[in-house]
Amino acid sequence: MKNLKYFFGLSAIFMASSVNAQQTDVDLLVDDLLILADGFAKPAAESAAYQATAGWFTSAKSLEKWKVDVSLHANAIFVPSSKKEFSVNNNQFGILKVTGNDRALLPTAFGEASDVEFESRRDLEFNGQSFSIQGLQAIDGIDKGALLYPFAQVSVGLPLNTQIGFRALPALDIDGSEFSTYGVGLKHSLSQYFGRRRTRQDDLEVAAIVAYDIFDVKYEFDPLDVPGILQLSQIDVNAGVWMAEIMASKRYESFEIFGALGAAQSDFEYEFGGSGLGLGLVNNEISRLNDSQAQFKGDIGFNLYFNSFKVSTMATAGKYVNLNVGLHFLL
């Protein structure tokens, strides 16, 4: 990822000097850089929906009124090979082209290092002088097939067979990536409307769930100093994620199995971290990549109950596979 500085450092210089540069060249170059930035960061934004919504509730049966479930979770998202690279071709670019080829495979944020380089199609004007771009290297990924991080959660039983949960993970640095998440979730029993009183522990339970999470991940790279203009040090992917799903569960003594189907709506933003007058110019351009995305997801898992605690596991499937393991203390 260290080569990210070459792309956006050059972009900042052009934008900060736009009075003296050809505006058409600036626009085309920035558009080219945004194509590369979008391909690099988009899989990380997509994965946020699976990471943010995993493990909210592990049973359709609500806690008894005012009972508390305090849990610690370990979360892991597995990155498929298709999300580790993306393709580009010279027809997509206005200024740049792949050196020695007409197309290339580039790493995403999850991908490996790359030896692909770019060059300009023609000479550009800068401060009244003509020059060309040569040897502009592709952005290196973090080379991870799985991302693991923990978080804590507290759930409380409410009246009307309803349960509310809160989760939090303050900023935590793991292998050069910083994760943080905060959210609130609500579960309401639908079984109580099925026409008969449900009192047996092994009855089939059905519930509706809604949740909202703020999920933030920062990918760091070697700082770049452009004296008096800009210092870049990281790219920040921030997602606000709404989730709605229907869950069913059935308990057999100390063992419970559950499954859920639903959808997640993600609204994500990109931002670069650093300092300098040029930082606002760069982030103004990168904001063009902000987007919304809806994804369907399915969960399946099981719980093991002990005297005062339970262990939960949940696998979430969609474009990504996410695994969540929780240790729950029932108070």
Least confident of 16-20, 34-38, 130-134, 319-323: 16-20
pLDDT, tens digit, for every residue of 72-127? 999 999 999 999 999 999 999 988 899 989 999 999 888 888 888 888 888 766 55
Least confident of 44-53, 60-69, 161-170: 44-53
Residue 6 has pLDDT above 80, yes or no: no
Q: Which helix (H) or strand (E) segment is 223 a member of?
A: strand 205-226
Tell me what the mean pLDDT of segment 179-207 comes to: 82
Rounded to the nearest 10 degrees, what angle do helices 4-16 and 278-286 cross at?
110
Contact 56, 209 (CB under 8 A): yes
Averaged pLDDT of the chain: 83
Q: Which helix (H) or strand (E) segment is 110 a member of?
A: none
Contact 1, 221 (CB under 8 A): yes
Question: In this predicted structure, what is the pLDDT of residue 22?
Answer: 47
Tokens read off for 273:
């971290």
Contact 220, 1 (CB under 8 A): yes
Q: Is 326 exposed, middle or buried (0-12, 13-18, 19+ CB in 10 A)?
A: buried
Residue 198 has pLDDT above 70, yes or no: no
Contact 229, 278 (CB under 8 A): yes
**CA distance linking residue 326 with residue 331, whole number of Å:** 16
pLDDT band at 259 (very low <50, low <70, confident <90, very high): very high
192 CB-near residues (< 8 Å, 6+ apart): 161, 198
Question: In this predicted structure, what is the pLDDT of residue 227?
Answer: 45
Range among 12-21, 167-176, 234-243, 270-279 rated most confident: 234-243
Least confident of 7-16, 36-45, 133-142: 7-16
Residue 164 has pLDDT above 90, yes or no: yes
**Rama region for 285: left / alpha / beta (φ>0; ψ in -120 to 50; rest):** alpha
Location of structure tokens 């991080």: 149
Q: What is the CA radius of gyration of the chain?
A: 24
The number of residues making up the chain comes to 331
What percentage of residues in the chain have a pLDDT greater than 90? 39
Tell which residue, 270, 229, 218, has the closest CA to residue 10: 229
3-state helix, strand, coil in the chain (%, to 5): 20, 55, 25
User: pTM for the complete prediction?
Assistant: 0.80
